[in-house]
Structure 1
Amino acid sequence: MTKTLMTFGDSNTHGTPPIQKRGVYARYGRETRWPTVALADLGSDWELVEEGLPGRTAAYADPTMGPHMNGQLGLRIALESHGPIDVLTIMLGTNDLKAHFGLTAEGVAAGIAGLLAIANSEEYQTRHSGFEVLLICPPLVLEQGPISDVFYGAAAKSAQLAPLYAGLAAHWGAKFLDAGQHIGPSQIDGVHFDADAQIKLGHAVAAAL
């Protein structure tokens, strides 16, 4: 019986390479993006729904990128657009660290708590006949490169996220993966993953599932 994996996240789930110049759109191919790498590891009895949106936050409309960046709205749309699914991965929080949100690490985690509440709600669990959740904590943010001003102050706060995410996963009965134990961001922009990191994360996610 075929199982379906939905990967819900931001640009690092979409497959955006490190930014060298703002305003240039790029995306890794299927052989590199971590969701498709994970799918290949899981085998032919799995299907994939990729739901990575560059700029997506866990819980907030973005004042420069738009209201559709709110992941809580996006998750509802994704869960009502696709299905049934068997496993949902959530990897968000990096964009919530942007300076213009002014959030603490606990504030970022609060947005993740909202996503877990939506995913585990009776409405969506019933709609999909039950599905598991894998919560992935993004790796550290480095304040360097062409988008360093956007992520001013993010490095210290990102270092506090893993135990907060782990606690939320335990509370909601979700699986947990700390991506920072496997990969780090590119030195080019301090946020996005290089190709090797995308591939390594894909293998780690498949192993966690």
Structure 2
Amino acid sequence: MKDDGETRKEAINLMTGPISSKQSCKIGTWNVRTMYESTKTAQVVKEMTSYNIGILGIAECRWTGQGQTTTKDGHLILYSGHESQHMYGVAIIIQKRHVNSLIDWKPISDRIIKARFQSRHCKLTLIQCYAPTNDKSEEVKQEFYDQLQSIRNSVPKHDMCLVLGDMNAKVGTDRTGVENAMGHFGIGTRNENGELLLEFCLNNDMVVGDFARNLNT
């Protein structure tokens, strides 16, 4: 999507309402490589709809600035990108039927965005990420995880919290010492980003999971 200001329309006057306990909200995440072209955005939304995903976290949208926009079909896109360069960038796309469940959201950086939703039995906080690649400097990666930890610490205690995104990590198959943070289906050999991800999970009582899951709220 081009950053010309004309294709971005702010969504206003959102009325907060809970995701119904009688419906299933499928949540997923996708590294799309880019949504800079408006046709790419339409393609992503089309795929999201075809898989009946209610809330989709996006990595590498490559939009600049921070804000929100609505599609012609009424789906809401929250985004957080670099100030001027079409690089990195994260977003959360919310299907029209779930827009009213949005309580608030916060753009953190071009690698992290947070949104909070009202559901019938609990509140849900989503943190969408795009982590630095494994070849980035230790300083860059540590800065990302320090920021992610700060955001995780800000999540209300009784919220369900999901950290989504492309973490650019390989956790491998060895579960020794990290049994509480990963299951039996890792592949390959753990890299440095995998170590950082598992350390984050252990420190926050979280578990590495699939890229998508069904949430009956």
Q: Same fold (TM over 0.5)?
A: no
TM range (shorter): 0.3 to 0.5
Q: Which structure is richer in relative contact order (CA contacts within 8 A, separation 6 or more)?
A: 1
The two structures have a TM-score, normalised by structure 1, of 0.42
The two structures have a TM-score, normalised by structure 2, of 0.41
Could you say which structure has the higher helix fraction? Answer: 1
